[in-house]
């Protein structure tokens, strides 16, 4: 698939940057257009791979932002994006839309710029283009507290209702206790990039005739066509690089020997099973998925038609749906065989309910504090018998 990829806010831009890194490291070609949009000048300077001329600072003339971010305020995030909507649209004018299959907007939902600005950006894209617009949204960890949960719970409603599909990533599930938050983010972003790129880059190889069961962009679009909230599972294993293994690969490449034997089939089915049973980007009930799709990526000599068929049957049972596609994505020089599994429209994801509960508590607390704030300030600045008067 060919994508236009847009990171909104800090997390969104960092994740897009890691997607570009993974793409270049694995010689893939997914993101044909890329943009980073942010309200904070310093954050916009962070990416390593997003070209300078693809970074847009918004809200620098807005009194509340002034190029310093929106302080996690989702309302200001939305206001700033709406205020600069013409500039955002002009940025998208560059997108040669006939060269992309879909658009992906990436944002963290717990903050202000991505959470508030993301839905505004999506509205503009939906108005401008007929191609599907997807979102990848990061859900904040419980440890972040009530305000990010409230931002995320509200913003999730806007994202899901506006996009053609929303892929979730749960920071809570991916947090490693022994790491600092920044180290943790760095690792999470790499893991997430590997999943997104392995899945979505399927079909973008130069030698498509090598694959018998090649996945292509229309398969991915069809699977995502359900709308709702989706999740990705992933597993990888090194390709056999012993002398024997290499010899085997050489001979199969040269003589087109079909090594579709039992062990390869077992390996592929096992990989898909491991991907589904691994930590999903958004943990959820696999059997609640509406559709599923698995991409097997690696050297074609490792592929197995029998393996693909048994993986498909297994996935059909596990996801409890007949709408299952399994296909391959040939990467001749890849040192790994990997499986990325998309579970589309998963309707049972406990973390979303937890965030909503945390958000409702936070909203009540904020309302209670606001109700008494005026009285508390008056109490503080007024003497006990109210003998003193203000100067003017």
Query: Annotated binding site: which residue ranges?
Result: 112-114, 144, 171, 189
Size of the site for ligand GDP (CB under 6 A): 20
Q: Which stretch binds ligand GDP (CB under 6 A): 103-111, 154-162, 268-276, 316-324?
A: 103-111
Minimum CB separation of residue 113 from ligand GDP in Å reads 4
Cα distances from 280 to residues 171, 183, 276, 348, in angstroms, run: 11, 20, 7, 13
Minimum CB separation of residue 365 from ligand GDP in Å reads 18
Q: Which stretch binds ligand GDP (CB under 6 A): 4-12, 96-104, 217-225, 233-241?
A: 4-12
* Residue 78 touching ligand GDP (CB under 6 A): no
* Residue 59 touching ligand GDP (CB under 6 A): no
Q: Which stretch binds ligand GDP (CB under 6 A): 29-37, 59-67, 182-190, 303-311?
A: 182-190
* Residue 171 touching ligand GDP (CB under 6 A): yes
Minimum CB separation of residue 49 from ligand GDP in Å reads 14
Pick 94 or 183: Cβ nearer ligand GDP: 183
Binding-site residue numbers for GTP are 112-114, 144, 171, 189
* Residue 188 touching ligand GDP (CB under 6 A): yes
Pick 37 or 160: Cβ nearer ligand GDP: 37
* Residue 300 touching ligand GDP (CB under 6 A): no
Interacting residue with ligand GDP among 47, 59, 111, 284 (CB under 6 A)? 111
* Residue 138 touching ligand GDP (CB under 6 A): yes
* Residue 112 touching ligand GDP (CB under 6 A): yes
Tell me which residues in 142-161 interact with ligand GDP (CB under 6 A).
144, 148
Pick 171 or 297: Cβ nearer ligand GDP: 171
Which residues lie near ligand GDP (CB under 6 A)? 9-11, 14, 70, 108, 110-115, 138, 140, 144, 148, 171, 185, 188-189
């Amino acid at each position: 698939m060919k994508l236009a990829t847009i990171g909104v806010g800090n997390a969104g831009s960092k994740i897009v940057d890691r997607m570009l890194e993974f793409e270049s490291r694995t010689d893939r070609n997914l993101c044909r257009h890329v943009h980073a949009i942010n309200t904070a000048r310093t954050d916009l300077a962070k990416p390593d791979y997003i070209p300078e001329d693809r970074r847009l600072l918004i809200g620098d003339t807005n009194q509340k932002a002034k190029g310093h971010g929106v302080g996690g305020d989702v309302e200001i995030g939305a206001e700033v994006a709406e205020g600069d909507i013409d500039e955002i649209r002009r940025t998208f004018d560059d997108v040669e839309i006939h060269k992309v299959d879909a658009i992906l907007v990436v944002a963290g939902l717990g903050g202000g710029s991505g959470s508030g600005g993301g839905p505004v950006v999506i509205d503009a894209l939906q108005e401008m283009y007929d191609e599907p617009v997807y979102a990848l949204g990061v859900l904040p960890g419980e440890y972040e507290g009530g305000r990010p949960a409230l931002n995320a719970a509200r913003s999730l409603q806007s994202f899901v209702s506006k996009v053609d599909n929303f892929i979730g990533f749960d920071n809570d599930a991916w947090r490693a206790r022994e790491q600092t938050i920044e180290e943790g983010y760095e690792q999470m972003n790499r893991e997430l990039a590997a999943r997104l790129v392995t899945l979505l880059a399927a079909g973008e190889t130069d030698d498509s005739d090598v694959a018998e069961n090649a996945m292509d962009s229309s398969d991915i679009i069809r699977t995502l066509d359900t709308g709702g909230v989706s999740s990705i599972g992933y597993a990888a294993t090194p390709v056999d690089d012993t002398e024997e293994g290499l010899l085997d690969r050489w001979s199969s490449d040269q003589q087109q020997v079909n090594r579709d034997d039992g062990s390869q089939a077992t390996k592929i089915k096992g990989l898909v099973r491991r991907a589904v049973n691994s930590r999903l980007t958004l943990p959820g009930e696999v059997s609640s998925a509406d559709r599923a799709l698995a991409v097997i990526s690696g050297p074609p000599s490792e592929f197995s038609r029998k393996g693909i068929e048994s993986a498909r049957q297994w996935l059909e049972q596990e996801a409890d749906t007949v709408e299952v596609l399994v296909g391959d994505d040939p990467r001749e020089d890849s040192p790994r065989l990997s499986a990325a599994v998309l579970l589309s429209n998963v309707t049972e994801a406990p973390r979303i309910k937890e965030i909503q509960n945390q958000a409702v508590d936070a909203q009540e607390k904020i309302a209670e504090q606001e109700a008494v704030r005026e009285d508390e300030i008056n109490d503080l600045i007024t003497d006990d018998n109210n003998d003193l008067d203000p100067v003017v």
